[in-house]
Amino acid sequence: MDCLPGRAGCKQEVRPPPCGLCSGPRWWDGWRRVKWQATLTPDGLTWVEGPWRRRTRCFNPECDSRSSTLYEAQAYPYRTFAPAVAVAAVLELLSVEGATVVSVAQLWQCDPRTLDRWLGWIGWLAELAVLLKVCWRYDPSGMPPPVFQPRRKDLDPPTATTKPTWKDRATLIGSLVLLFEWLARLHRDHGIPLEEGPGLSALLRRQFDRYRLVSMLTKRSPPMQTQVLWSGG
């Protein structure tokens, strides 16, 4: 929070951070109680009992942001499970030999259908070619991009007689996760602040704070474009 000049002890003494869209001042606009939240900690999955979140309102009447909520670290709009949890669960499914959607969902305390949606959600977050182009453009070292190498032996290409499943897109999904991790490192190397945690979840939070864009889980959002993938400045 930003401290602005004012009378000691008055409610205007401490103001919320400036608006992410117009950089104008905001003021407090009440509280919002949310349900249980699942976050990722060094000890694994942790449930946090319904935190109170402060609401803010932009002072600029022409700003599209208007009323908004301040989110704590890892939190994301319309999510019970933090994006960091989704990334960790998907990587476990892609990497652990013999893991199934049901077994990984039980481990991460979610419904198998939720894990299946996480797989599809990551797969359409960005076009692989666009994400590669952005990483190459801002990486001064010119290093080759990371390549996802599945450790599982059962991730075979589909045949004409088999029904497509998440395994057929495992390499694409894994590559996207690694490239988001690379892009997050480039942001930090350029001095752009990101929250801690997996690169994908940190970039999604940066995208939301800066552009108020939300990547929905229950319906397909447009793939992230270059100006959103690289949120410098």
The 3-state secondary structure of the chain, one letter per residue: CEECCCCCCCCCCEECCCCCCCCCCEEEEEEEECCCEEEEECCEEEEECCCEEEEEEECCCCCCCCEEECCCCCCCCCCCECHHHHHHHHHHHHHCCCCCHHHHHHHCCCCHHHHHHHHHHHHCCCCHHHHHHHHHHHCCCCCCCCCCCCCCCCCCCCCCCCCCCHHHHHHHHHHHHHHHHHHHHHHHHCCCCCCCCCHHHHHHHHHHHHHCCCCCCCCCCCCCCHHHHCCCC
Count other C-beta atoms under 10 Å from residue 85's C-beta.
26
For 125-159, the pLDDT digits (tens) are 888 888 888 888 888 776 666 667 655 555 555 55
Q: Are 123 and 169 in contact (CB under 8 A)?
A: yes
pTM, full prediction: 0.78
Mean pLDDT calculated for residue range 92-101: 88
For 160-214, the pLDDT digits (tens) are 555 667 777 888 898 899 999 999 998 898 888 888 889 999 999 888 888 778 8
> Which phi-psi region, left, alpha or beta, contains residue 170 (left: φ > 0; alpha: ψ -120 to 50)?
alpha
Mean pLDDT calculated for residue range 57-73: 82
